[in-house]
Structure 1
Amino acid sequence: MHGPAPALRPRPRRLGVPLTFRLALRELRGGLAGFAVFLACIALGVAAIAGVASIARSLTDGLGREGARILGGDLTYSLINREATPDERAVLEAQGRVTVVTTLRAMALAGGDKGAALVELKAVGEGYPATGDLVTEPVGPLASLLAESDGAYGAVVDPVLLTRLDLKLGDRITVAGTPIVVRATLISEPDRIAAGIGFGPRVIVSRAALDATGLVQPGSLNRWSYRLQLPDASDAEIERRAAAIAAASPDAGWEMRARSNADPRFAKSIERFTQFLTLVGLTALIVGGVGVGNAVAAFVERKRGSIATLKSVGAPGGQVVALYLTQVMLIAGLATTIGLALGAGLPFAVDALFHDALPLPLNPTIAPGELALAAAYGLLTALAFAILPLGRAHDIPVSGLFRDVVDPGSVKTRLRYRFILAAALAGLVGLAVATAFDRRLALIFIAAAAIAFGLLRLVALGLMALARRLPRPRSAAPRLALANLHRPGALTPAIVLSLGLGVTLLVALSLIDANVRNTLSRSLPARAPNLFFLDIPAAEADGFHAFLGTEAPGAKIERVPMMRGRITALDGVPVAAIKPPEDAAWVLDGDRGITYAEDVPEGSRIVAGSWWNAEQARTPLVSFDAELARSLNLSVGSTVTVNVLGRTLEAKIANLRKVEWRSLGINFVMVFSPGTFRGAPHSDLATLTLPNGPDAKAEAVILRDVARAYPSVTSIRVKEALEAVNEVVGKLVLAIRGASGIAVVASLFVLAGALAAGHRARLYDAVVLKVLGATRRRLLTAYTLEYGALGLATAIFGVLAGTLAGWVIVTRVMKLEFTPDVSGALLVAASAVVFAIGLGLAGTWRILGRKPASYLRQL
């Protein structure tokens, strides 16, 4: 006989993918209440990453599209300190039409007592500009504006020069004793970017005017650019002609650029800066991820009844999690779409608003690859921060879901959800590293973010543990505040994390900004020379030295011979075949200043090898910067091949030096033995340091007198050079502040979201406490103490962590001296405390005004 039939047990009903998706959409019809912070955090982070990447792509495309205009031709060949020989010129002209542009620095002397100013002199020949438009005011043919008339050549000048020397159109200036009439001001210059950062206003003259000045002498510092026009030539044809020129003049020492890669150094700078801003945007996204976690936790709490209902009718926990994860990811998709739309539209908005003011060619475009990357960042962040709050409901029984309001259970998250979290985090790390220009920087950022999260979590747990163990105050308000810090569902972890990240970021940025500006504008000039003098003819060097001694009695004067040269090979390996690290690539890119000396230069210390003696100094030897040598895998005995004035020579490294660059004294990456360049034409470089430090009036007098007595010598005020650099740095810092501001705003959203997520618990507390006789003033006092304690603890952490981060970036990345700016850090910390208290009380004020009766009926 058969035994009794087994009892029928209801099988769990599985929700198929289509049904899960339909149910998720159906629930979302009720709106997105409670997801405002979620949407804002994801959208902000994605918009920051997408916007930065889109602008970078637009700039890169603009450089590519406008390459010929930026270069002034399809191919450009540049030489330093010398003009091309007739044979070299013939090689170029055999390939296409050639226009020549010569650039150098010079002194412009105004009449009377108006003084002198450093200018960037640009001599152009017929046919300039071959591409693009030179816009002047008044408008006129360039040849007429530059022509000689009444014994003076004409010039087109930057309007800044008129202001600096108190000039007007029609006035005369003198350059190296040659009178020049200011006939027009320069509005825009098509090849401005290719010239790089200038330390003085632009002055455009004719080639005849340059010849009249006599500034081009053997050894003087000047650049000759030969621009080839190849109409209708394809990129492949341009490469073929470039190869033919290289084969015909292998020893010319050209620096070649093609229209397809008009400014590789600038393109690299864009890529580096883009990566940095992308990491800042990713910081905003990760900070926003905390808000995502808070929002999802609150969402799960609101859906407690629905989850219990689904599980009571047999839905497995995994399917319930899948249902609500689908909803969360749909909302994340909406937030990501909003962020992508904002980021993709940013280049078009920038171009529309600032087209005429932009110094760079911007080609607004939709960048699918960059937008896809930003979308991946947004979705992975949402998944990583949402999965654990959602996974918590998997194993809680139905009764536990209802009871969990007042008795939260300790449920260990299942392995599958921790695996999803690990996969999402691995995806974020992989994207950040794989797309990084500098993978080392990306890894440092990832490690720093992980450490920051871990430390803030420890701070929150430590604060809760301390509050749990402190003796209970007798007064009701402090006792309630202390209990709120560690009770189940306390706001402590969320507030510490969101506020701590924001304070840390603000403190780090304020310290970086203060130290960079301090280094550029205050600490360096106090130790640096007042004036630099370039292009001192070797034959006049002794007389010039004596002249300076008369002009500035007691001043310290240093001078060394100076030439320009390019490194063409290291240990016999051509530079083109070398892939140096990013921090050393600049020394192989373009021309470098070089010198020779009998003794160790001031500001240098030998760290390997030995300095040459009189006998050794007759052979080609070189002293190399120790830090750069280490980056380039060079050591004592290695060989360095350089091209100077069209002559290629090889020198052996005799020693390595530790150089103190921050003093701004005379020093070089490469210092050669005197015998290396015996008899080579050169000019001298000199510095003058006044005994009493910076003195604007004395410096102006010396500049004027030097310009009159030695018109071919170029004088540079260190203060003006630093101001030019400071202006560029200021713009970069402004961009960093803008991107970092998004991260700070995300922190504020997270903080607001954390307070909103605790609204239900606060409401419950307020109702019960008011029934028991608590007054609004007593409750406000308790909440003020609670938020004040959280703000103070977080501010202390933020100051310490932000100071450490600022120190690492300033000293290790920027290689600058670090000075803690206590005032800025304390201001940020105090603001954090006030903000936490203010925002916390603003969120509870409405709760405290509610009458208990309507809520007691629901308990």
Structure 2
Amino acid sequence: MAWRDGKASISRLMLFMASIILGIAAVVSIQLFSENLKQNIKNQSKALMGADFIIDSRQLPSKKVQAIIDSLNVAASEVNFVSMAAFPKNDGTKLVKVRAIEGDFPFYGTLDTEPIIASSQYQKSGGALVDATLMLQFNLIPGDSIKLGKLTFPIIGALKSVPGSTAVSSTVAPPVLIPFRFIDDTELLQLGSRKEYQYFFVATPKTDLELLEKKIDPILDYENADLDTHTSTSERLGRRYDNVSKFLNLAAFIALLLGCVGIASSVHIYIKEKLKNVAVLKCIGATRKQTFLIYLIQIAGIGLIGGIIGSSIGVGLQYAFPYFLKGFLPFDVQISITAQPLIMGILLGVLMSVLFALLPLLGTWYVSPLEVLRGTDENLVKPRKARLFTLAAILLFIFLFSFWLLKDALFGLVFTVGILITFSIMAGMASLFMKVIKKYFPSNWGFTERQSLLNLFRPNNQTMVLILAIGLGTFFISTLYFTKDILLAKTSVENNSENANIILMDVQAEQNEAVVNTVISKGLKVINNIPIVTMRMYQIKDKLVNDIRKDSTSTMNQWILNHEFRVTYRDSLLVSEELLEGVWIKKREPGESILVSISDNIARDADLEIGDQLIFNVQGVLMETSIGSIRKVDWGRMQVNFSVVFPIGVLENAPQFNVVTTNVQNEVNSADLQRDLVKKFPNISVLDLRQMYTIIEDILDKISWIINFMAFFSILTGIIVLIGSVKNSKYQRIKESVLLRTLGAKSKQIIRITALEYVYLGILGSLLGILLSLISSQLLATLLFKEPFIPSVVPFLVFLPGITILVLIIGLSNIRSVLKSPPLEVLRKES
């Protein structure tokens, strides 16, 4: 019976199915890609690192660290740092990451070079391997040269890929590989240079890497070094990309929930029209259970077919994700199909279809044949306990599924409550809107205008569901649009002469005056000339840092203990800083104690308060200080910020280097300045914030594209829900339209009534969605991004009229068949 009845209503059941297909496709595609990503990271963990494990240090290894390195039989080593490179062929300059390597690195994976033989020749021949994209940018070919510091190297080949490098990091500072033996001759490593020494090892088959890390790493931490195994590195990498997949899964889940709203509304109309059939079946002997199961089987079948189709589409969609995420991944993802997401998609289709259809399906259980056959269903029993149980089951499912996606019960609960609040607000506003219209009905309006408003209260009108579908889709896309604006504003660099867009790093004390004169000679203004002194924590309160490292019960963040702080001294706060506690000390007078200012993240991670004692090791000299103030620092601003700031009158005679900033208006002047500086001061690194901003904007554009791609699923699902709701109320509209035409209404009047009705629905739904997105975006800006939120007018100018017009078109597309239906046909009940 379920099959026979379903065949007669196949076109309408297809719309139910379409509501669920897109959500299933989104979830399955992301699940498949996440599974592939995890498996690729696991399989390629050694190739990502190039070795079994690495020991790294920000300074030359101490005697103890060197003894450990020697005992483990180091296979290769390198020192890497960022520096300016010059290209004599065309006077070009570029910030690059120099990797000076000794040994046959990598031991897993390959150095992908052009020509291929260059990867094995550059060590012996004393040449350089230069990033392939960089060579294209500067029109370089093998045989040309690259100047690093005091040395000029022949370019042996183009470097296409190297273990441990991503497309994003290569864009900021492209890698250049040179033999380790030439590093001293370049004279690039100066006081304050940010460098990293790495030692690569190949483990024997018997080596237990987890035991090695557990035994050796604490000793290395004590000596300001670190040990990383390929397994621990792949786990960290997996967690990093797991956050991306969690967000995308939630976006897909929202699309799925939107489809479920469509199923609930469509089934509600469908079942209501089937109540007479149910009554007839009960009159001829069918039981409650049989009539209930007939339509339950139909809905389950819809979910099953929708799950299969959605899973099939998801398989195809997952192939698009590696293309859009390739800039964030240090390897190419090999796609393979796993069974778990496919089974999950099919089961999800059945479960969610049945779960969200239960509320309207319960009506068949309590149908009174006599009431329906008499032509009224107003007195149908509405099972309160069963409805509450079903609602509780739906909320429990949403919580469990979001908990499974996020792996966090609190986040799952917050997400579920957020969904419930959003639905409740929209439903409440829609209900309030209808009550206001009823109370203040404009009785003096014309016939068509009055009738269009009355249609909102028509039986089977689905006003509430339509507003929810339109509103949720608009809410999601508007929130994403506003969030994108917040992110872009957080990384923006205003193009005016008061904001630095060129930063000169590692300027030595003896070079400072000459560098400043070079900048000024170009007609540029020196905006900042910041002195920097390097130091480490020696004692925190009454405990030595070394003792804290040994204390297994200590909860202090390890970075505080191991970090080499770059600090400055000045007499004023920056615009990116806000004083939270204490008093800002401008200058220290002779004989007074030294009061420093620390950032709030240090205060939090080291559990520090105003007045606590800190002793710093300033390059061998111990300096006792106290905390005078705690600052909130906006690290998102593209400028030089500091965790620790000293007052004037303390560090002036300490070994130091400077950071000089200026503003350059165009690329020509920037290139001219960089060429001059590289020729005169090869150790200085130049950071062009304009270029950095372009890179960040490109990254954000990719992220935004992916987010909007997921939002598209929600909007498209909402449109299908809308089409389904309109189509399913088609017969009710035919009857009303015929009655109006019988009473003398013209086709133009009927079209106008319908058009106005859908304009009301479109405006109300999209306006509610945009207004709610303003609230959510303000909360995101305040609580998460800590940024001022300036709303864009785009959602109001584009989304509001665009979605309203879309709703209108869908509504009017159904009216054509209404106008063509002969009145007599409907009155004879032959439609």
Normalised TM-score (structure 2): 0.88
Matched ranges for 1:715-754 at <5 A: 715-754=686-725
Matched ranges for 1:338-487 at <5 A: 338-343=309-314, 346-347=317-318, 359-365=330-336, 378=349, 381-402=352-373, 408-409=378-379, 411-433=381-403, 435-436=405-406, 441-469=411-439, 470-472=441-443, 475-487=446-458
- SS at 2:507's partner residue? strand
- SS at 2:662's partner residue? strand
2:106 matches 1:129: yes
Unaligned runs of 5+ in 2: none
Structure 1 window deviating more from structure 2 (41-50 vs 597-606): it is 597-606
Instruction: Give the equivalent residue in structure 2 for 1:167.
Output: 140
Q: Deviations over 1:175-211 (max 9, x none)?
A: 2132122232122223314995652322222213333
- With over 3 angstroms needed to count, the CA separation of the structure-2 counterparts of 1:679 and 1:117, relative to structure 1, is same
Residue 62 of structure 1, CA deviation:
1.6
Residue 737 of structure 1, CA deviation:
1.2
2:477 matches 1:506: yes
Q: Which letter does structure 1 place at the counterpart of 2:200?
A: R
Residue 317 of structure 1, CA deviation:
4.4
From 222, 237, 255, the equivalent of 2:195 is 222
CA distance in 1, matches of 2:540, 2:588: 27
- SS at 2:788's partner residue? coil
Matched ranges for 1:641-790 at <5 A: 653-671=627-645, 683-689=657-663, 694-790=665-761
CA distance in 1, matches of 2:119, 2:539: 38
CA distance in 2, matches of 1:711, 1:705: 10
Give RMSD over aligned pairs.
3.9
- SS at 2:153's partner residue? strand
Instruction: Give the equivalent residue in structure 2 for 1:557.
Output: 528
Residue 356 of structure 1, CA deviation:
12
Q: Deviations over 1:55-109 (max 9, x none)?
A: 22322222222111111211112212x2324552331232244311222111122
Residue 598 of structure 1, CA deviation:
5.9
- With over 3 angstroms needed to count, the CA separation of the structure-2 counterparts of 1:562 and 1:99, relative to structure 1, is farther
- SS at 2:580's partner residue? strand
CA distance in 2, matches of 1:633, 1:65: 40
- With over 3 angstroms needed to count, the CA separation of the structure-2 counterparts of 1:356 and 1:834, relative to structure 1, is closer
Structure 1 window deviating more from structure 2 (845-854 vs 190-199): it is 190-199
2:22 matches 1:44: yes
2:164 matches 1:187: no
Structure 1 window deviating more from structure 2 (462-471 vs 53-62): it is 462-471
Residue 500 of structure 1, CA deviation:
1.2
CA distance in 2, matches of 1:648, 1:735: 51
- With over 3 angstroms needed to count, the CA separation of the structure-2 counterparts of 1:225 and 1:627, relative to structure 1, is closer
Structure 1 window deviating more from structure 2 (566-575 vs 773-782): it is 566-575
Matched ranges for 1:567-586 at <5 A: none
Q: Deviations over 1:313-345 (max 9, x none)?
A: 565646643553344234323323433444456
Q: 1:145–1:156: 8 Å Cα contact kept in structure 2?
A: yes
- SS at 1:325's partner residue? helix
Structure 1 window deviating more from structure 2 (837-846 vs 413-422): it is 413-422
Instruction: Give the equivalent residue in structure 2 for 1:20.
Output: none
CA distance in 1, matches of 2:805, 2:555: 51
- With over 3 angstroms needed to count, the CA separation of the structure-2 counterparts of 1:682 and 1:796, relative to structure 1, is same
Residue 444 of structure 1, CA deviation:
4.1
CA distance in 1, matches of 2:120, 2:592: 50
Q: 1:253–1:566: 8 Å Cα contact kept in structure 2?
A: no
Structure 1 window deviating more from structure 2 (837-846 vs 296-305): it is 296-305
Q: Deviations over 1:25-83 (max 9, x none)?
A: 67657675422233222232222223223322322222222111111211112212x23
Matched ranges for 1:239-388 at <5 A: 239-246=210-217, 249=220, 251-263=222-234, 265-313=236-284, 317=288, 320-343=291-314, 346-347=317-318, 359-365=330-336, 378=349, 381-388=352-359
Q: Which letter does structure 2 place at the counterpart of 1:134?
A: L
CA distance in 2, matches of 1:257, 1:170: 37
Q: 1:114–1:166: 8 Å Cα contact kept in structure 2?
A: no
- SS at 1:190's partner residue? coil
Matched ranges for 1:92-111 at <5 A: 92-111=69-88
CA distance in 2, matches of 1:831, 1:854: 37
- With over 3 angstroms needed to count, the CA separation of the structure-2 counterparts of 1:295 and 1:605, relative to structure 1, is closer
Residue 743 of structure 1, CA deviation:
1.0
CA distance in 2, matches of 1:297, 1:24: 17
- SS at 2:491's partner residue? helix
Identity of aligned residues (%): 22
Q: Alignment length, in residue pairs?
A: 822
Q: Which letter does structure 2 place at the counterpart of 1:144?
A: Q
Q: 1:42–1:285: 8 Å Cα contact kept in structure 2?
A: yes
Q: 2:2–2:294: 8 Å Cα contact kept in structure 1?
A: yes
Instruction: Give the equivalent residue in structure 2 for 1:12.
Output: none
CA distance in 2, matches of 1:524, 1:265: 37
Normalised TM-score (structure 1): 0.85
Structure 1 window deviating more from structure 2 (468-477 vs 637-646): it is 637-646
Residue 426 of structure 1, CA deviation:
1.7
Q: Deviations over 1:402-440 (max 9, x none)?
A: 456x76457534312321221221231133135425665
From 106, 120, 131, the equivalent of 1:158 is 131
- With over 3 angstroms needed to count, the CA separation of the structure-2 counterparts of 1:749 and 1:524, relative to structure 1, is farther
Q: 1:41–1:746: 8 Å Cα contact kept in structure 2?
A: yes
CA distance in 1, matches of 2:105, 2:287: 77
Q: Deviations over 1:143-165 (max 9, x none)?
A: 423555xxxx5222123323443
CA distance in 1, matches of 2:689, 2:671: 12
Structure 1 window deviating more from structure 2 (654-663 vs 44-53): it is 654-663
Q: Which letter does structure 1 place at the counterpart of 2:150?
A: G
Structure 1 window deviating more from structure 2 (124-133 vs 86-95): it is 86-95
CA distance in 1, matches of 2:624, 2:283: 84
Instruction: Give the equivalent residue in structure 2 for 1:544.
Output: 515
Q: 1:220–1:682: 8 Å Cα contact kept in structure 2?
A: no
Q: Deviations over 1:791-834 (max 9, x none)?
A: 12223222212222233223432233322211343111110111
Q: 2:100–2:183: 8 Å Cα contact kept in structure 1?
A: yes
Q: Which letter does structure 2 place at the counterpart of 1:40?
A: A
- SS at 1:132's partner residue? coil
Q: Which letter does structure 2 place at the counterpart of 1:157?
A: V
Instruction: Give the equivalent residue in structure 2 for 1:208.
Output: 181
2:829 matches 1:855: no
- With over 3 angstroms needed to count, the CA separation of the structure-2 counterparts of 1:345 and 1:108, relative to structure 1, is same
Q: Which letter does structure 1 place at the counterpart of 2:172?
A: F
Q: Which letter does structure 2 place at the counterpart of 1:668?
A: F
- With over 3 angstroms needed to count, the CA separation of the structure-2 counterparts of 1:736 and 1:565, relative to structure 1, is farther
Q: 2:217–2:227: 8 Å Cα contact kept in structure 1?
A: no
Q: Which letter does structure 1 place at the counterpart of 2:71?
A: A
From 55, 66, 71, the equivalent of 1:77 is 55
Q: 1:55–1:347: 8 Å Cα contact kept in structure 2?
A: yes
Residue 837 of structure 1, CA deviation:
0.7
Unaligned runs of 5+ in 1: 1-22
Q: Which letter does structure 1 place at the counterpart of 2:39?
A: D
From 624, 632, 635, the equivalent of 2:598 is 624
- SS at 1:655's partner residue? strand
